Structure formats: structure tokens, C-alpha cells
Amino acid sequence: MAAPADRLPPAPVDRDWPMTPGYVARATAGRAILRDDPHRPRYHACPPVGWMNDPNGVIQHGGRWHLFYQHNPRASVHADMHWGYMSSPDLVHWDDHACALRPEDGTYDAQGIWSGNAVVADDGAPTLFYTGVRAGPNDRHEYQLVCIADVRDGFTRFAKDPGNPVIPATPLGMDLVQYRDPFVWRGRAGSPNTWLLAIGAGFPGVGGTALVYGSDDLRHWEYLHPMAVGNASVREPVWTGIMWECPDFYEDPASGKGVLLLNAWDHGVQHVVASTGDVDETGTRLQATRTSAFDGGAFYAPQSFWDAKGRRIQFGWLRESRPATVYGSAGWAGVMSLPRVLRVTPDGRLAGSPAPETAALRRDHVPVVPSAGTRHGVELHEAHFELSLRFDAVGTGRCGARVRCSPDGQEATFVGYDPAAGGLIVDRSQSSVDRVNSSTTSLTPLVITDGASFTVRIFGDGSVIEAFIEDEGGCIANIGDRIYPTRPDSLRMSVEGTTFVGGDAWVMADTWRSRA
């Protein structure tokens, strides 16, 4: 049987093709062809075909949620970066659209349209910020430049600004480790700058940083100073890397804290870190009082935004953890996380729980009832599911569930709280009999107080696992990961934990509006 990629309609060589209805036609056909891939998610946003990585320009506008993303429309490998585009009326059901932005040969973005975000300008029009990459010697960071594009005619046209790049160079005389991924937000009322922009970078021999710029019109920017600077030589409580990718900043009104999400980067090593703390009177400097790992799984490059309800909504990229030779022939690669609602916990960490809108996808409810012993059966055999499991205390061992289990136990993945490991884990040591896939254990550090009750929520969706621990105040830990069971009968699940008091399970419906 041909590999999925070989069964897809051929991608035209025409450079303008991803911007046309022809792309949407191929996307629709591609979704139908790839639907039977057992590792393909059904209710997580994923590319119709080809490659997906960072979420970009996530925004709610005109009664819809708009999600742009790093996309290679022609192949499921990281190359030829465009901004793919999908939108939703309800945050869970999605429509594919033609790509919003593509590289232009011979220009400032000829080598790729890389990450950025979106804001609504003073005139009510959304404006997209992105990293334009042009050819240069040895892929030096001087050739990653800040560019903008206007959204026109109700998100049907996207026009690059004639003044691009709007930040044409790094700050004068500054030696940096990389420079990319602008994130723009509106400054505080009465502050010197109407708009602020943070861009990821690093200082050689020191650590990562987010450099802050100010503007009154979104097009003319003045460099101000670093928002914060990391220390790459320090590993505890969390390593913050030699450079920060995709910075994301906001001030949380509930806690009064500033929140800086950064992606700690070094060659071959990346993970997400959250710093919370005090912001100065200008809203441009953060004095962190708590820095911690945000999600210890395959989750990376998240982006957040305020929605119309005043919630801070976040999406993140769930990376592949199988070899490139495998996903390159699958016809697709990369998945978005569920939309998460962020909160600062009482101890100053950042956590995010699934947006309540995801409950609209629940079908075929099955109660999960405690039984004698430490393992409790779940009468649901499914690859696309949600579990909600309640525990009245930590107890003496793991609290969670074994999911995607084969009848003989040859394949199984434990997801939940492990006090011995020190947090919320995804144990992939038995996830797949195909040993080319990752078999490590992923961990988001967390300590639950003895005697405290909590809920473990687990979402399985083909190769996607997302899990959340919630107490009476809300989410306290999250993790997103990828698993690749190979046996078609690896569909069983069971609950583990001496303190389990009951729960619920659901089959989850398909999220793509173009499919039944």
C-alpha cells in the first residue's frame, strides 16, 4: 500500500498556489485521505496536509477565532515556511483556508515566513507581525527581520506592508545569539508607548532575553531595553537556555503579576518556561519572583491572547516524537494543543486548563466506578477520548490512568500524578512496540499537598495525549505529549490509584467542520 503522502493530490509547483482556492481543495481532499491514519488526531487542530509548527497570530475578531501557524503546504518536513490559516466560530470546530502569507523570492522573507503574532490596531483592523527570513551567510540572525501584514476584506486578503522590514536590523552594536519571533501588545494607559514589542534573542555567554521596543503607530519602532535576561549557566529550578524563542507577555489582572512565557533554546534542546513576577511602572521590565517549567512534554512555542470574555487563551505546538523518516512519509506532521485557559496559581506558577468549549465534543458518556484494589476498569475502548478522574488524596502511589493499552499489556501509556517522579507524567516506556518511537517519560514538576483532593483530566486523540491536574481553585499542572501505539487493539484503559473516588469517560467527536 502506498504511503499516505504518495496518495495525496500532487502539490503544484506554482508559488502562488497556497494562496488560492486550489490549496483549499487539496486540503479538503487531503483530510479525507489521511483520516484513516491511526496516529492522526480528530479533535485537535492539525494541518490538512504537510507540516505544522508554531501557532502564530492567534486572535478573536469579528465573531471568530483565527489561528495562523507555521506551515509547509507541500511536504511534511520543516521547510518553505508559510503562514497557514484556519478559523473557528466556537474555538473547537475549524475551517481550513488558503495560506495567509508566503515567502517572496528575492525579498526580505524569501527564506521563510517565521513566527509572530497579531494585534487589533487603533482603527479596528487586525495587523500581523512575523519574522521575515532572507538569505544570508551561515543563517545568521541579522537576516531574521520584523515584518508586518494587514488583514483585509474580512480575513480574505493579507497585504504585506511596503515599508517592510519595519525593524530592519538588530540594535546597533549589540552582539546576539539569534533574533526572531516578535510579540506585540498594547502598552499600559498613560505609558510612553502605545504599543510594545518583545523579540526573542540571547546574549553570548550570558543567556536568553526578550528585547523590548516601543511604537505609537505599529510601523516605527524604537529599541528600549531587555525585559529580562536569563542565566544559561544555571540549571535549577529550571534551565532557561542560551536564547529565548517566541516570547509571550501579558499582565494578569487576577494575580497582579506579569507573565512571561519563553521557549528556552539551544541547538537541539528546547522547552517552555514561565516566569511570573512584578512589572515596573512602564510595563516593560519584569522582575521574576517565580520561574518554572510550564509543560514538560512535546508542547512548544505557545502563544496566548485575550478573548472577548477576558480569558487568556493559549495554543501550543505538540511536536512529533517519531523519526523524520516516518512523519515525512505520513503526509502530515505537527498538532496544536487544545485551547487552554491560563491562570497564575497561588504559589506563582502558570498553568492552563482546557477551554470549557471542548465539552461540546463529548459523546457516549461512560461513568468510571471505583472497584476493589488499586486498578479500576473503564468500559470504553477508544483512541479519541476524554477521562476525568477524581482522587481524594495522593495516597501511596500513582494517581491517573493507563491508556491505549493492548489486551495483553504489551502496549500501554500511564498518564497522571506520580509523587515519586515529582509531578504530572506521561510514561511512554511501553507506548509502542515500534522502538523507533520515543520511550521516555515526560514530566511537569508538581507537588500535591498530602490530603488534598484533585482531578486528573486526560485527553487522548490518536497520537496526542494531553493531561491536566485541577484542584478546587483550577488547573495546577498541564502536559502535552505524543505517543504512537502500533497495535490496532491498543484501545483499552484503566484507572490507577488507591484514593480514586470516581470519574467519567467520553468518546470525543471530530472537530473538522468539513467532515461528518
Q: What is the pLDDT along the chain (516 residues), one digit of tens a residue?
A: 567 778 888 899 999 999 999 999 999 999 999 999 999 999 999 999 999 999 999 999 999 999 999 999 999 999 999 999 999 999 999 999 999 999 999 999 999 999 999 999 999 999 999 999 997 765 556 689 999 999 999 999 999 999 999 999 999 999 999 999 999 999 998 888 999 999 999 999 999 999 999 999 999 999 999 999 999 999 989 999 999 999 999 999 999 999 999 999 998 789 999 999 999 999 999 999 999 999 999 999 999 999 999 999 999 999 999 999 999 999 999 999 999 999 999 999 999 999 999 999 999 999 999 998 788 999 999 999 999 999 999 988 999 999 999 999 999 999 999 999 999 999 999 999 998 888 899 999 999 998 999 999 999 999 999 999 999 999 999 999 999 999 999 999 999 999 999 999 999 999 875 432
Predicted pLDDT of residue 259 = 98
- In 406-473, DSSP assigns E strands to 413-418, 423-427, 441-445, 454-461, 464-471
Other CB atoms within a 10 A radius of the CB of residue 81 amount to 25
Position 515 scores a pLDDT of: 38
In the three-class reduction of DSSP (H, G, I as helix; E, B as strand; rest coil), residue 58 is classed as strand
Please report the pLDDT score of residue 156 as a whole number. Answer: 95
Cell triple for 265: 533554546
What are the CA-CA distances from residue 27 to residues 24, 328, 498 (Å)?
5, 17, 47
- Whether 350 contacts 290, CB under 8 Å: no
Domain coordinates of the chain in residue numbers?
Answer: 4-354, 356-508
Contact 417, 424 (CB under 8 A): yes
**Do the Cβ atoms of 70 and 58 come closer than 8 Å?**
no
pLDDT at 516: 27
Which amino acid belongs to residue 268?
G
Show the cell assigned to 168. 530592519
pLDDT the model gives residue 110: 94
Helix (H) or strand (E) holding 67, with range, is strand 64-72
Q: In this structure, which topology does domain 356-508 adopt according to CATH?
A: Jelly Rolls (2.60.120)
CA 194 to CA 219: how far, in whole Å? 12
Residue type (1 letter), 403: V
Angle among Cα 52, 47, 430 to the nearest 5 degrees reads 75
Helix, strand and coil content of the chain, in percent to the nearest 5, comes to 10, 50, 45
Q: What is the pLDDT of residue 9?
A: 83
Question: Which of 458, 475, 477 lies closest to 467 in space, CA to CA?
Answer: 458
Q: In angstroms, rounded to a whole number, what is the distance separating the alpha carbons of residues 155 and 61?
A: 10
> Which of 148, 241, 260, 147 has the alpha carbon at shortest distance from 201?
241
CA–CA separation, 255 and 138 (whole Å): 44
Distance between CA 499 and CA 451 in Å, rounded?
A: 10
Element (H, E) at 263: strand 257-266
4-354 is classed CATH 2.115.10.20? yes
> Is residue 460 within 8 Å of residue 482, measured between CB atoms?
no
Contact (CB, 8 A) for 76 and 43: no
Cβ atoms of residues 476 and 446 within 8 Å: yes
- Note if the bond before 253 is cis, omega within 30 degrees: no
* Gyration radius of the chain's alpha carbons: 22
